[in-house]
């Protein structure tokens, strides 16, 4: 008598929900329908939501289960990722932005369809997140946070007005020739350093903003942040600093301090900061004034809520599904 064999069980498809930023990638970006089709072809069962704001992202995440797929630029990825902290919800992302700093830092494909193809054999990695505690509240960052040159340029640029090449060039040239240095005492780990700084950045990825690669050695799964400080001892060398960012030689300059840290603190007295691509404190553009200092013109907030700024790392805050590693 022959034994009947049970038919093989069908492999259960992974449930995935695409959060799609329709502004990412401009008119040449892939449609959400094409992304959904590509994910279905590798065995995922998907649906999607088109979002236009962070409020939309928060609403969608509160109503869904399964794998979250953030399709957009670094801002979209950060908006999703920082809202999954402390939750047992895995995520992945499809790079569709201009800079794609997060994808490049993770050394994964920046083409969304090549990325999806790599998800046939995915790997799960922990992803660290930075946390900034300030007088106005607690915030999270994925790429980096800091003060000085980049934050000042961003404050002058006013990103809330939308993208503008000319406004960006104007803000950059102004800070190049009339930028400010900050005399600060930085407390990091068990060390204290004082100095006049053109730039102080704490990074979780290799680059911030428009591909400013300040920390080529940064990784987002080691439980540490990368501190980069550019000293103001050589004001004429600001162009050299910018050039060295492009050639990834910044840390070799004598007036640049780099450290791996778990935490950092410093006193804040009204100058602008940035958290990823946003200027802080909130509503900065509506409240700022400019004053003359011995180091040049300094933007500041009149009668601000001064206090201590603390930055720390949240190790493995989110579980990230990535394409298979490339040999």
Range 65-86 burial, b when 16+ CB lie within 10 A, else e: eebbbbbbbbbbbbbbbbbbee
Which pLDDT does position 154 carry in this prediction?
86
Residues 6+ away with beta carbon under 8 Å from 249: none
Rounded Cα distance, 197 and 44, in Å = 49
Structure tokens given for 213 = 């690669």
Report the domain count for the chain: 2
Do 109 and 250 reside in the same domain of the chain?
no
Report d(CA 119, CA 95) in Å as an integer. Answer: 13
User: For residue range 215-229, what is the model confidence (pLDDT) as tens digits?
Assistant: 888 999 999 999 999
Do 107 and 219 lie in one domain? The reply is no
Select from 96, 120, 144 the last residue of a domain: 120
Same domain, 95 and 237: no
Q: Which residue, 99, 120, 141, sits at the end of a domain?
A: 120
Whether residues 114 and 34 fall in one domain: yes
Question: Are residues 59 and 33 part of one domain?
Answer: yes
Regarding whether 111 and 48 lie in a shared domain, the answer is yes
**Distance (Å, whole) CA 325 – CA 320:** 13
Q: Which of 64, 96, 120 is the last residue of a domain?
A: 120
The owner of tokens 């603390």 is 310
Q: Residue 300's pLDDT is what?
A: 64
Res. 18: pLDDT tops 60: yes
Of 170, 179, 109, the closest CA to residue 151 belongs to 179
> Is residue 252 domain-resident?
yes
287, part of any domain: yes
Please classify residue 158 by burial: count the beta carbons closer than 10 Å to its beta carbon, then call 0-12 exposed, 13-18 middle and 19+ buried. Answer: middle
pLDDT digits (tens, 9 = 90+) for 255-291: 788 899 999 999 998 889 999 999 998 876 666 676 6
For 26-39, what is each residue's pLDDT tens digit?
A: 557 789 999 999 99
C-alpha torsion sign, points 62, 203, 276, 274: positive
Higher pLDDT among residues 25 and 73, named by residue? 73
CATH number at residue 18: 3.40.50.10330
Same domain, yes or no: 114 and 194: no
Looking at residue 226, which CATH number applies to its domain?
2.60.200.40
Structure tokens at 52: 């236009």
Tokens 């950092």: give the residue: 264
**Inter-axis angle of helices 165-178 and 149-157, to 10 degrees?**
140
Contacts of 79 (CB under 8 A, 6+ apart): 54, 57, 70
Helices and strands of the chain, counted as H and E runs:
9, 17
Domain membership flag for residue 8: no
Range of the domain at 99: 14-120
pTM for this structure? 0.85
The 3 state secondary structure assigned to 261-299 is ECEEEEEECCCCEEECCEEECCCHHHHCEEEEECCEEEE
- Rounded-to-integer distance, Cα 140 and Cα 62, Å: 18
């Amino acid at each position: 008598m022959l034994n009947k064999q049970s038919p093989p069980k069908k492999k259960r498809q992974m449930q995935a929900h695409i959060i799609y930023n329709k502004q990412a990638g401009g008119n040449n970006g892939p449609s959400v329908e094409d992304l959904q089709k590509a994910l279905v072809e590798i065995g995922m069962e998907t649906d999607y939501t088109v979002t236009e704001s962070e409020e939309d992202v928060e609403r969608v995440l509160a109503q869904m289960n399964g794998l979250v797929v953030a399709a957009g630029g670094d801002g979209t990825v950060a908006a999703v990722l920082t809202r999954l902290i402390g939750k047992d919800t895995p995520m992945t992302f499809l790079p569709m932005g201009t800079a794609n700093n997060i994808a490049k830092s993770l050394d994964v494909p920046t083409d969304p369809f090549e990325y999806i193809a790599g998800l046939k054999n995915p790997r799960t990695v922990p992803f660290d997140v930075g946390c900034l505690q300030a007088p106005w509240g607690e915030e999270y960052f994925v790429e980096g946070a800091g003060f000085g040159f980049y934050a000042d340029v961003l404050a002058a640029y006013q990103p809330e007005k939308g993208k503008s090449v000319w406004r960006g060039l104007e803000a950059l040239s102004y800070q190049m020739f009339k930028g400010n240095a900050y005399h600060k005492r930085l407390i990091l780990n068990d060390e204290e350093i004082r100095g006049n700084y053109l730039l102080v950045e704490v990074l979780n990825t290799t680059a911030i903003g428009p591909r400013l690669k300040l920390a080529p050695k940064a990784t987002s799964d080691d439980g540490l942040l990368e501190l980069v400080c550019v000293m103001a001892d050589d004001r004429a060398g600001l162009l050299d600093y910018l050039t060295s960012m492009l050639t990834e030689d910044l840390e070799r300059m004598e007036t640049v301090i780099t450290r791996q840290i778990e935490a950092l603190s410093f006193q804040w007295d009204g100058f602008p900061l940035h958290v990823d691509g946003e200027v802080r404190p909130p509503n900065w553009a509506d409240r700022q004034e400019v004053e003359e200092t011995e180091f040049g013109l300094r933007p500041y907030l009149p009668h601000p809520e001064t206090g201590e700024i603390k930055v720390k790392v949240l190790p493995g805050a989110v579980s990230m599904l990535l394409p298979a590693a490339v040999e």
